[in-house]
Structure 1
Amino acid sequence: MEQKFIPLSVPNLKGNELKYVTQAVETEWVSTGGPYVTDFESVVAQYVKAPGAVSCQNGTSGIHIALILSGVTQNDIVIVPSLTFIAAVNPVRYVGAEPIFMDCDDTLGLDPEKLREFCKSECSLEDGKLIDNATGKHIKAVVVVHVFGNIANMTELLEIATTYNLTVIEDATEAIGSYFLDGPYKGMHAGALGHFGIYSFNGNKIITTGGGGMIVSPDIGQLQHAKHLTTQAKSDEVNFYHDEIGFNYRMTNLQAALGLAQMEQLETFIHTKITNYQYYTEQIATIEHISMLPFREDIRSNRWFYSLYLEEGFPLSRDEVIAAFSKQKIQTRPIWGLINEQIPYKGFRSFKIEKALEYQKRIVNVPCSTNLDTSDIDRVVACLKDMVRKS
């Protein structure tokens, strides 16, 4: 019997998705108008405890809008992580600003200690503005990515941002449902901590709308402006007057119908993610020099992605592990190539990138879909043990 393919991360559409999408089609509300859009925005805002939310086409467009609302222009600098998906950084270039790349810490998020060192040693605070000494440009914002459902060290990062008047844009595209269990931000969700938070509902995320994203902010005025910009900045809908450069970034009613059904299942999905992660952890405990990358203990993580960490002494390289899994029809992936090493970004500055290089070499992401069962995990672990035995 031929082995089935085990994908890395695929949607789970076993709830009311078909029902709600069918209703949208039957009522002919299929485009960017329709009740599911506002309902979905309301449900997400309530879930993450934000005063409001504005839907958009994807997480990338959400970050783009957040940068515009932050007043970032071509004369400014934005601090960004080196270890992330490139979509977190590209919008900085959309607005013409300059990125400066920062290292990660053990959360895989932006390292606050290096950020603090950079601000102290490479910059000056002039009239409340953080100025880059090398270029004289204003460092206006920082993009913080919550990687794989973990939460970056927001306590320190927000304190640094307050000290240096930096706008904090949280890329929480992988972290809806992750929140603090302890500390000064107890009960607060990833994405609802900074000036702006962005969620993604791409097909591989814990919940999906096929594509799509969401912008949240504690500032209702900024959310109203975000909605204006994402709907072509139309100031007079009857006469088609536009008072700014706007964007066609709104989510469709069909996407929102999917999203609403997915939100109904999010907590169930997270429970499954936590259970499967624990099972993986227990099953690989007997294999030497390898472990599951942990999540912070002071948070309830959605555990979106599961990462094997290849420790010193493990007999195979990252790429050898991925190739061996592939031969057994098990889809795995490395973590992203560092953005500061990508062709479009080789001319931009980095600050002491060290830990990100190590994680890039040692992480293998393994299947983590919410429809994964224990027999699938057993097969992944058996394959891992077999490749170690043969090495």
Structure 2
Amino acid sequence: MPSDREVIGLHEPQFCGNEWDYLEECLTTGWVSSVGKFVDRFEQMLAEYTGVKRAIAVVNGTAALHIALKVIGVKTGDEVLVPTLTFVATANAVEYCGAIPHFADSEEKSLGLDPHKLEIWLNEIAELRHGECFNRQTGRRIKAVIAMHTFGHPVDLDPLLEVCRRFKLELIEDAAESIGSFYKGRHTGNWGKFATLSFNGNKTITTGGGGAILTNDEELGKEVKHLTTTAKIPHPWAYYHDRVGYNYRLPNINAALGCAQMEQLDSFLEKKRILAERYKFAFSKVQGIRFFTEPDFAQSNYWLNVLLLDDENAFIRDTLLKKLNTSGIMARPAWTLMHKLPMFHSCPRMDVSTAENIESRLINIPSGALLL
């Protein structure tokens, strides 16, 4: 096996801006915890870049999803439609609310939730009662849809939003992987009532750990900020909390890192698109495999680059993964589909054959801006 120094990472962070200066300021002033100027600045930078009215920084993307689901009214016993091709955090956040993930299929053109197949499925199993959607098969309310922008490639949002309107469903965009990605010229995160971001160490920009909630509803934004800061009523010294809140605040020292990273985001994205173009050219000459490119309605950040084997070559996926990793090139398969995980075996689902097919053929390859 190659040593760590010889391994080409899947998506390593790049620190070449003001990171050290901003972190030093936090340490020098002592503002390292949940209050400080960098939290406010980071939230403002996120809102301005994505075009939303309000961004609330939180401790990670999973916490962001949890709060988004709580605030839109997901309750114990509800169902939430979730792509089976997603990271486990998407389904876990539904469980945190006492709700049940209801797994949906994906489409190959975006790798994300298939709005047309979802509409056919809901026509079969859903009914409206008093302005709300119910699953005739289980008797449970279907409250929301989570659309995850897979590997940074936007879901086809317009037809999905129409499905949500027709069936009275709330839409949340799991944009954890898609900062810097645009759908029809507008940044992801502007279609759902909420969208969520992640700034884990392997994301396009990082705060070490961290996430954010985006919304175009100012009042809901205030509620989210309140709930994620333990529902404390502002006061110079008294501690009074008016609701059950959550200690999901992003520390100032992490936000400082995020501010420095946001200053470099355009540069990161430019490098990642150049890398994607080079991959596209290189693999255009290889038979039996193709480099996945953004759908025609989107501009993707190419967070993690994707190779798709032809159907007849799917059987060599694991052999390729082993060869790449033992050669010092970090590569991985898609996440194990949610309905295959033991804790979600009994959850409802539609036919997910496209997601199963994608999972069997997909390989992620090194994608960081640091490679250029």
Q: TM-score, normalised by structure 2?
A: 0.96
Is 1:10–1:204's contact at 8 Å kept on the other side of the alignment? yes
Code of the residue aligned with 2:233 in structure 1: it is S
Residue aligning to 1:174:
177
Is 1:59–1:214's contact at 8 Å kept on the other side of the alignment? yes
Residue aligning to 2:35:
33
Matches within 5 A, 1:334-349: 334-349=333-348
Residue aligning to 1:189:
187
SS class of match (1:350):
coil
Is 2:314–2:360's contact at 8 Å kept on the other side of the alignment? no
Q: TM-score, normalised by structure 1?
A: 0.92
SS class of match (1:177):
coil
Residue aligning to 2:327:
328
Residue aligning to 1:243:
242
1:144 aligns with 2:147: yes
Report Cα offsets for 1:312-340 as digits up to 9, x if no partner. 34386111001001121111000000001
> What is the aligned counterpart of 2:221 among 215, 220, 223?
223
1:112 aligns with 2:112: no
User: How many residues matched?
Assistant: 368
Residue aligning to 2:134:
131
Displacement over 4 Å in runs of 4+: none
SS class of match (2:86):
coil
Report Cα offsets for 1:9-44 as digits up to 9, x if no partner. 110111111111111111110000000000000000
1:47 aligns with 2:46: no
SS class of match (2:66):
helix
Residue aligning to 2:92:
90
Residue aligning to 1:299:
298
Is 2:199–2:207's contact at 8 Å kept on the other side of the alignment? yes
Instruction: Summarize the Cα distance change of 1:288–1:315 in structure 2 as closer, same or farther, 3 Å threshold.
Output: farther
Identity over the aligned pairs, expressed in percent?
38
Is 2:9–2:329's contact at 8 Å kept on the other side of the alignment? yes
List alignment gaps of at least 5 residues for structure 1.
181-185, 374-391
Is 2:57–2:250's contact at 8 Å kept on the other side of the alignment? yes
Distance 2:111 2:218 in 1: 31
CA positional deviation for 1:102 = 0.3
Is 1:288–1:314's contact at 8 Å kept on the other side of the alignment? no
User: 327-336 or 304-313: which moved more?
Assistant: 304-313
User: 134-143 or 32-41: which moved more?
Assistant: 134-143
Residue aligning to 1:361:
360
SS class of match (2:21):
helix
Distance 2:361 2:234 in 1: 54
Distance 1:286 1:160 in 2: 40
Residue aligning to 2:200:
202
List alignment gaps of at least 5 residues for structure 2.
none
CA positional deviation for 1:163 = 1.2
SS class of match (1:302):
coil
Is 2:84–2:337's contact at 8 Å kept on the other side of the alignment? yes
Residue aligning to 1:376:
none
Report Cα offsets for 1:344-377 as digits up to 9, x if no partner. 101111100110001111011011111113xxxx
Distance 1:200 1:265 in 2: 17
Report Cα offsets for 1:115-146 as digits up to 9, x if no partner. 11122110111111111112222111111100
Distance 1:363 1:315 in 2: 8
Instruction: Summarize the Cα distance change of 1:315–1:92 in structure 2 as closer, same or farther, 3 Å threshold.
Output: closer
> What is the aligned counterpart of 2:163 among 136, 160, 164?
160
CA positional deviation for 1:216 = 0.7
Distance 2:170 2:231 in 1: 23
Code of the residue aligned with 1:132 in structure 2: it is N
SS class of match (2:75):
coil
CA positional deviation for 1:5 = 1.4
Is 1:41–1:54's contact at 8 Å kept on the other side of the alignment? yes
SS class of match (2:134):
strand
Code of the residue aligned with 2:26 in structure 1: it is A
Instruction: Summarize the Cα distance change of 1:73–1:316 in structure 2 as closer, same or farther, 3 Å threshold.
Output: closer
Distance 2:8 2:101 in 1: 37
Code of the residue aligned with 1:344 in structure 2: it is M
Is 1:236–1:242's contact at 8 Å kept on the other side of the alignment? no
Is 1:105–1:111's contact at 8 Å kept on the other side of the alignment? yes
Distance 2:371 2:250 in 1: 29
Residue aligning to 2:21:
19
Code of the residue aligned with 1:57 in structure 2: it is V
Is 1:77–1:97's contact at 8 Å kept on the other side of the alignment? yes
> What is the aligned counterpart of 1:101 among 90, 103, 113?
103
Instruction: Summarize the Cα distance change of 1:363–1:315 in structure 2 as closer, same or farther, 3 Å threshold.
Output: closer
